[in-house]
Amino acid sequence: MRRSLWVLALLLAAGGPALAQETPDPAVVAKIEDQAFNHSQVMNIAFYLTDVSGPRLTNSPGYFRAANWVKNTLTDWGLSNATLEPWGDFGSGWELDKSYLALKAPYYQPIMAYPKAWTASTKGLVSGAVVLVDAKDSLALLNYKGKLKGKIVVFPNDDTLAEPFKADAMRYVDTDLAKMQEPLPERRRGNPDSARMAQFRLRGAFARQQAAFLKDEGALMVLSGNTRGKDGTLFVQSWGGNAQNLPAGLTDMVIPIEDLHRIIRLVKAGIPVELEGEVKSHFTDNKGDKQGYDVVGEIPGTDPQLKDQLVMLGGHLDSWHSSTGATDNAAGSAVMLEAVRILKTLDLHPRRTIRIVLWSGEEQGLFGSRGYVKNHFADPTTMDLKPEQPKVSAYYNLDNGSGRVRGVYLQGNEAVRPIFASWLTPFASLDASTLTIRNTGSTDHVSFDAVGIPAFQFIQDPLEYDTRTHHSTADSYDHLSAEDLKQAAAIVATFVYQTAVRDQELPRKPLPEARPAGARPF
Amino acid sequence: MRRSLWVLALLLAAGGPALAQETPDPAVVAKIEDQAFNHSQVMNIAFYLTDVSGPRLTNSPGYFRAANWVKNTLTDWGLSNATLEPWGDFGSGWELDKSYLALKAPYYQPIMAYPKAWTASTKGLVSGAVVLVDAKDSLALLNYKGKLKGKIVVFPNDDTLAEPFKADAMRYVDTDLAKMQEPLPERRRGNPDSARMAQFRLRGAFARQQAAFLKDEGALMVLSGNTRGKDGTLFVQSWGGNAQNLPAGLTDMVIPIEDLHRIIRLVKAGIPVELEGEVKSHFTDNKGDKQGYDVVGEIPGTDPQLKDQLVMLGGHLDSWHSSTGATDNAAGSAVMLEAVRILKTLDLHPRRTIRIVLWSGEEQGLFGSRGYVKNHFADPTTMDLKPEQPKVSAYYNLDNGSGRVRGVYLQGNEAVRPIFASWLTPFASLDASTLTIRNTGSTDHVSFDAVGIPAFQFIQDPLEYDTRTHHSTADSYDHLSAEDLKQAAAIVATFVYQTAVRDQELPRKPLPEARPAGARPF
């Protein structure tokens, strides 16, 4: 029923041969949908990426468990050239061996805390009184000189809890999608000397200075919280950046905002607060190798004229560490893997080569995709193109949680609109029909976009991504939506297939200008 | 503006002297509202009950910290006869000294677990493999004989997570309140021999049998979870009942449902799961005294004819132990305390004596109020009335979270409807105007109702009570709503004052029949 309707719609709408060429073959779409919905492996894939692999912090053992599972699985499925490919120097990974925190006075109560990534170990089980450190600058810090030895440091925080009258999860409704289609003024390229950047740098510099001061003064640990993390959900990242730019030696844990507020209220009321805690962690690397690795695999093209051209798809495989990175981004990784499994299983003889790459170092700055793009296609600071750059017809990315696909961000590429509109036609009944000219950022497609390769991120229903799971202790398998992931796999597989069999490569935007080496890249 | 409107409404509506007598004095209400809203102490009281006292499990040190703070505070405010009054034998309290749990294989990750009340200690830090125990009866248990020594037991669980598309918090809207006013068929008194009770007892008996089996077999601990506890919120009680009917010696922890599911998935996939954990706890009592204690205080009546009559108000002070029992029931306790503070501060010369009692043992079966009622007023199994029984005009209770008052459950007492309707008139603009003939149960007013004393629980907006905070790790100070509690204090103070100055006691329902000694009381 659903299929016959869209075929009819296509027949009625078909304006000419150009559009007709873009029309997905209903028989192929039917096979893809049958695989995606009736023979789905997407939750099984997600199980291995999350529950079995564990947290996938870049260069941690969990990341390599997942990456090797992906490599072996791609090989088992019959893909070619499955490998872990180094993209450049990342630095050490990091892994927890022990984490414990509790209130000890005025009474005992365990605190559901989680250490930030790359945080230092304590010297075994330690305990100390809490001191509130309220300093806006290095001068104010001097007030605490000599007062922090053996203490546990908390910063003032009077955030209110996030709104409980609003549901955590949402799906886009028509008005959201319509609003999304209004073009925005193009975002100004980041200017490294702008006031905002300067302020950002100052804040970062003071945070590092403060951390060094606290360490020098002999503080035992620092506790922090944030408002998004209510009800027991913690949002946990690192000090910022990756291991290399962290001051070593200060233990830094995230605690529930409610506990942080409790501690602050007690201290302010003059009631001594004592905590005990233990963090044991170690930096990890791959036998001294501090390179970061992406995972690659291919379905070779079958058209002698086109098989050296590429259709690429991917998402980042690495995660933050306080859960198993289910919606960020086992979801996207599993969908991309499921899409290539479907295409390989169906043996559809793509004309171009299909290459999947799952990235690492995304959470610390899109490092894995930036390194890969620089190695294969172009350095965005020079824009000298390598021979492979013109051969990539498109890169497709998925990294907005577990929600079904509602459409595509065209990333400013108006010429692809009619093509994608045709490709989405079979999926209107699955609620995926929105195309917006807007850019979306913050994930790996921008590494490709920056060197002139057509690169797209899909629009996905947010579900709980922005409220509960993104970088949090709640980002686990149970927060995945199987039906949403199946729909996404069907659509991605179709887009990749269409790109692989199209006569021409996808139209490109004008090549961007080279960007200053010191600029924040995207 | 608000006040002048309701005075006008009263003038227009006043049908005769009977109603006029019930009309709250606008000057008194104005003073009460000024205290409640402009000089509120309710959040400060709540701070001492929650943050400062800690978890208030009955007969634990936290309970006695709070109870003594209440006694001293009532005395400081000038109330009379403030004391801790024993209500009967409870048994030991229980307190945590250490709680830690973590996944150890297939990788390390801390698990945000919380021990059930009265659970046993482990022998220091222990670790063991997880075994799924799937037994419906004692015969099936035998399959596990000899297989559980040094193991950690998990039971199957395939609950799905609670709906994320629905907000945690809600307020009643007009249609909810209208529906609440439709009378329900009177609930049948519990029949101890009913099929449901029999099934309940069978399940309880098997749970105890299973626990004894697991302990005899040498299992290290049992882990459980429940669906309400998603996102890091844990709902933690005890094995059921109080310490006395628990099998000693088995460590039982609640873990996040997502972690429970993860462990079950891994075990079912044949991937060994190992955990490490440590629980240290001890049973507590008050120098060998295992009686439970309520906290009492009075504002003496000033009318020589009526001062030996009582208006009572209260709520339970005890809590479950995994947070600080803010919405259950520091909220209700703080509102009742604030109401007597307001009435004492305003020096309103109540005709009858006002007595506040905060209960213990509520969470294990309304023990504190049942004991108090039996000691002072009547034993519901004989219904022989003590001399004080006829002298209690009313008992008011608050125990439905932090939400503002929307009205009163009349508890089947139709004769009080016009009286309460008049008393609520000033508060229509504060959205409190609903009276329902319905009973509400499960808290301490039913102990009074059972012996024929007019006893009422207020209708409160649920906020997050049913979804997030009730008996959970999220039941902390930050989940209180200050504005709601202020409104509730103003209304409770007015109701108590009106009851204390009314010429007659409140009308009573017919005296209930004596109930069989073995019956579940309410």
Q: pLDDT confidence of B442, banded at 50, 70, 90?
A: confident
How far A143 CA sits from the closest chain B CA (Å)? 28
| Residue ranges of B 341-380 with Cβ closer than 8 A to chain A | none
Strands A126-132 and A274-284: antiparallel
For the four alpha carbons of A266, A268, A270 and A273, in that order, the dihedral sign comes to: positive
Nearest to residue A82, comparing CAs of A300, A262, A368, A251?
Answer: A300
Q: Tell me if B522 is assigned to some domain.
A: no
Range B15-23 average pLDDT: 60
Residue A380 backbone dihedrals phi, psi, to 5 degrees: -65, -15
Residue A24 lies in a domain: yes
* A324 Cβ under 8 Å from any chain B Cβ: yes
Q: What is the CATH number of the domain that holds A398?
A: 3.40.630.10
- Tell me, what's the pLDDT at A519? 57
Q: What's the token pair of residue B196?
A: 């449901």
Question: Worst-scoring range by mean pLDDT, A393-407, A506-520, B105-119, B428-442?
Answer: A506-520
Searching chain B, which residue's CA lies closest to the CA of residue A464? B164
Order of strands, edge to edge, in the sheet holding B251-254? Answer: B109-110, B93-105, B274-284, B126-132, B152-154, B221-224, B251-254, B114-115
What is the extent of the structural domain holding B113? 93-284
Give B-chain residues touching A106 at CB under 8 angstroms.
52, 54
Do B176 and B105 fall into the same domain? yes
Element containing residue B93 per DSSP (H, E): strand B93-105
Task: Kindly report the average pLDDT of chain A as a whole number.
Answer: 91
How far apart CA A450 and CA A515 sit, in angstroms, is 9
In the block, which residue shows the tokens 């029931």? B329
CB atoms A98 and B108 under 8 Å: yes
pLDDT at site B417: 97
Confidence category of residue B228, pLDDT binned at 50, 70, 90: confident
Q: Work out how many domains chain A is built from and give that number.
A: 2
Is B517 inside any structural domain? no
Half-sphere exposure of A114 (CA within 13 A, CB side): 31
Q: pLDDT for B358-399, tens place per residue?
A: 999 999 999 999 999 999 999 999 999 999 999 999 999 999
Same domain, B73 and B122: no
The answer on B252 and B130 residing in a single domain is yes
Tell which of B284, B307, B341 closes a domain.
B284
Residues A85 and A103 in one domain: no
A282 touches chain B (CB under 8 A): no
Model pTM score: 0.93
Instruction: Give the range among B199-203, B461-465, B512-516 with minimum mean pLDDT.
Output: B199-203
Out of A247-261, A375-389, B45-59, B186-200, pick the least confident.
B186-200
What is the length of chain B? Answer: 522
Inspect the interface and report whether the beta carbons of A97 and B108 lie closer than 8 Å.
yes
B345 found inside a domain: yes
Nearest to B161 among A234, A271, A478 (CB): A478
**What single-letter amino acid sits at B277?**
G
Q: Do A211 and A338 sit in the same domain of this protein?
A: no
pLDDT band (50, 70, 90) for residue A300: very high
Query: Given B52, B99, B473, which is nearest A266 (Cβ)?
Result: B52
Tell me the ipTM for this assembly: 0.94
What percentage of chain B exceeds 70 in pLDDT?
A: 91
One domain for residues B234 and B117: yes
φ, ψ at B169 (rounded to 5°): -100, 145
Is residue B202 located within the same domain as residue B71? no
Structural domain contains residue B253: yes
Locate tokens 């905060």: which residue?
B358
Residues of chain B contacting residue A99, judged by C-beta atoms under 8 Å apart: 102, 110
Q: What does the pLDDT look like over B268-295, one tens digit per residue?
A: 999 999 999 999 999 987 778 999 999 9
| Other Cβ atoms within 10 Å of B315 Cβ, number | 30
- CB-CB under 8 Å, B262 with A477: yes
Cβ of A166 within 8 Å of Cβ of B167? The answer is: yes
CB atoms within 10 A of CB A272: 10
pLDDT at position B15: 44
- The answer on pLDDT for A241 being more than 60 is no
Do A62 and A206 sit in the same domain of this protein? no
Q: Partners of A101 in the beta sheet? A: A277
Q: Would you state the pLDDT for residue B2?
A: 43
Asked whether residue B266 is assigned to any structural domain, the reply reads: yes
Residue that wins the pLDDT comparison between B422 and A3: B422
Query: Quick check: A13 pLDDT over 60?
Result: no
What is the rounded CA–CA span in Å between residue B517 and residue B209?
26
pLDDT score at A12: 47
Measured CA to CA, the distance from residue A315 to residue A332 in angstroms comes to 6
Place of tokens 């330690």: A126
Helix axes A331-346, A482-501, angle to 10 degrees: 50
User: Across the interface, which of B50, B52, B230 has its CB nearest the CB of A271?
Assistant: B52
Residues in A touching B173 (Cβ below 8 Å) = none
Cα dihedral angle (A415, A419, A421, A423), rounded to 10 degrees? -150
CB contact under 8 A, B262 and A108: no
| Minimal C-alpha gap between B518 and chain A (Å) | 38
Question: Mean of the pLDDT values across residues A478-494?
Answer: 98
Confidence of residue A20 (pLDDT cuts 50, 70, 90): low
Residue of B nearest to A271 (CA): B52
Confidence class for position B3, pLDDT limits 50, 70, 90: very low
Non-local (6+) Cβ contacts of A352 within 8 A are A301, A303, A306, A307, A309, A310, A311, A393, A499, A500, A501
Model confidence at A49: pLDDT above 80: yes
Residue A248 has pLDDT above 70, yes or no: no
Last residue of a domain, one of B255, B284, B313: B284
pLDDT at B160 (0 to 100): 86
Structure tokens at A387: 């021979």
Q: Are B276 and A493 in contact (CB under 8 A)?
A: no
Which residue does chain B place closest to A163, by CA atoms?
B169
Task: Report the relative pairing of strands A251-254 and A221-224 from DSSP bridges.
Answer: parallel
Tell me the mean pLDDT in the region B198-210: 83
Residue B501 has pLDDT above 90, yes or no: yes
N-term to C-term CA, chain A: 44
Q: What are the tens digits of pLDDT across the range B311-342?
A: 999 999 999 999 999 999 999 999 999 999 99
Give the separation between CA B161 and CA A169, rounded to whole angstroms. 13
Q: For position B201, what pLDDT does the model report?
A: 79
Q: How far apart are CA B19 and CA A273, in angstroms?
A: 55
pLDDT, tens digit (0-9, with 9 covering 90-100), for A28-40: 999 999 999 999 9
Is the CB of B271 less than 8 angstroms away from the CB of A106? no
Residue A7 has pLDDT above 60, yes or no: no
The alpha-helical segments, DSSP class H, found in B403-481 are 417-424, 445-449
If one compares A473 and A197, the residue with the highest pLDDT of the two is A473
Say which amino acid occupies A236: V
pLDDT band for position A427 (50/70/90)? very high
CB contact under 8 A, B96 and A110: yes
Domain assignment present for residue B85? The answer is yes
B11 has a pLDDT exceeding 60: no
What pLDDT sits at residue A187?
54
* Least trusted range by pLDDT, from A243-247, B20-24, B81-85: A243-247
Q: Within this chain, do residues B377 and B450 fall inside the same structural domain, yes or no?
A: yes
**Closest residue on chain A to B113 (Cα):** A112
Taking all residues of chain B, what is their mean pLDDT, rounded to a whole number?
Answer: 91
Which spans in B347-416 are helix H?
Answer: 367-376
**Confidence tier at A447 by pLDDT (50, 70, 90):** very high
Question: Does residue B69 sit in the same domain as residue B176?
Answer: no
**Nearest Cα residue to B315 out of B502, B187, B442, B462:** B442
Q: Does some domain include residue B83?
A: yes
Q: Looking at residue A278, which CATH number applies to its domain? A: 3.50.30.30
Once rounded to an integer, what is the mean pLDDT over residues B145-165?
Answer: 93
**B47 in contact with chain A, both atoms CB, cutoff 8 A:** yes
Asked if B232 lies within 8 A of A266 by C-beta distance, the reply is no
DSSP B438: -
Query: For the segment B475-484, what is each residue's pLDDT rounded down to a tens digit?
Result: 999 999 999 9
Note the pLDDT of residue A185. Answer: 62
B173 and B313 in a single domain? The answer is no
* Interface check B324 vs A, CB under 8 A: yes
Model confidence over A82-140: pLDDT tens digits?
Answer: 999 999 999 989 999 999 999 999 999 999 999 999 998 999 999 999 999 999 999 99
Do residue A279 and residue A316 come from a single domain? no
Which of A43, A48, A49, A51 to mutate to probe the B interface, most B CBs <10 Å?
A51
Angle value at C-alpha B422, between B431 and B439, nearest 5 degrees: 70
Does the beta carbon of B258 lie under 8 angstroms from any beta carbon of chain A? yes
Chain A segment 162-201 residues within 8 A of B by beta carbon are 164-171
A478:B99 CB<8 A: no
Span A206-228, pLDDT tens digits: 888 898 899 999 999 999 887 77
What is the Cα–Cα distance from B511 to B109, expressed in whole angstroms? 59
Residues 472-491 of B with CB under 8 A from A: 473-474, 476-479
